[in-house]
Amino acid sequence: MNYRHSFHAGNSADVVKHSLLIALVRALQLKDGALTLIDTHAGCGLYDLGGEAAQRTGESVQGVARALVDRDPLLDEYRAAVQAVNDDAEAHLYPGSPRILAQLLRPQDLLILNEKHPEDVYALRGAMRDTPAAVHQRDAYELWLAMVPTRTPRGVVVVDPPYEQTDERARITATLATAHRKWAHGVTVIWFPLKDRETHWRWKQQLGRLGIPKFLVVEHWLYDQDQPGIYNGAGLFIINPPYAFTQALPPLLEALRSALAPDGHRGEITADWLDA
């Protein structure tokens, strides 16, 4: 599955991913200690929803457009993050994870971004020029291992690949195993697309064999049954989520499910601990 950020900006997966990232970082910031936020596959940072790539799929109509007109206050902070990069109530631009994370920074926090694609890293540097973010152009998995443990006592690594390579899941699994040995208390967030339940189940089985405790699995299935050959949803693996985040998660997930359910489908969004 090829999942270049620019073609899918502002879709339902982005709404869930960014809503949960905001909630996660805010929960960690309940303590004053500095955080290092690392995005290994940062993309362009900012996306034009009227541009050719986004218009080719039109996925933002079923994502950020639905979230912006929803009235659930649990999505207020997500909506504010989107509106912060726009001049009016409509979303013409969409903030990728780098811009979302930059909005959350406190003076003591650090933001490290990485993007290997030459055109995308050029766009990323432009999108982040008014922020304190450090931008790298390296192999994502090499950078992941090089940056942990973080220099600050606490940190978050966000892994959000396009899944262009057939070995992407294998590289994530192997790198996570090594990173966890180096940084067992660190928070790691891994985004994944959902194409079918069987493929996803096999990967969860492989990850379970790593024996990592406190491994939360959030799955957002858009449709009531798998739709063959298309994108069926997305989710997050979250290692070491803070207690305040997990306690507040159920109502936030229900708000997201309600806002994003396609017409004629209830959809499903769940959060469960992976059995080690």
What DSSP letter does each residue of 227-264 carry, written as one string? -TTS--EEEEEEES--HHHHHHHHHHHHHHHHHHPPTT
Return the SS3 of 159: strand
Rounded distance, CA 264 to CA 223, Å?
A: 9
Rounded distance, CA 200 to CA 34, Å?
A: 35
- In the numeric block, which tokens belong to residue 60? 């933002």
167 is annotated as an active-site residue? no
How many of the other CB atoms lie within 10 Å of CB of 262? 14
Residues 155, 122, 15, 64, Cα dihedral to 10°: 150
For 44-79, letters b (16+ CB in 10 Å) and e give: bbbbebeeebbeeeebbebbbbbbbebeeebbeebb
- Which of 48, 160, 196, 272 is catalytic? The answer is 160
Q: Is the dihedral of CA 156, 160, 161, 166 positive or negative?
A: positive
Give me the amino acid identity at 113. L
Task: Give the residue from 87, 89, 88, 113 showing the smallest Cα distance to 99.
Answer: 113
* Residues tagged active-site: 160
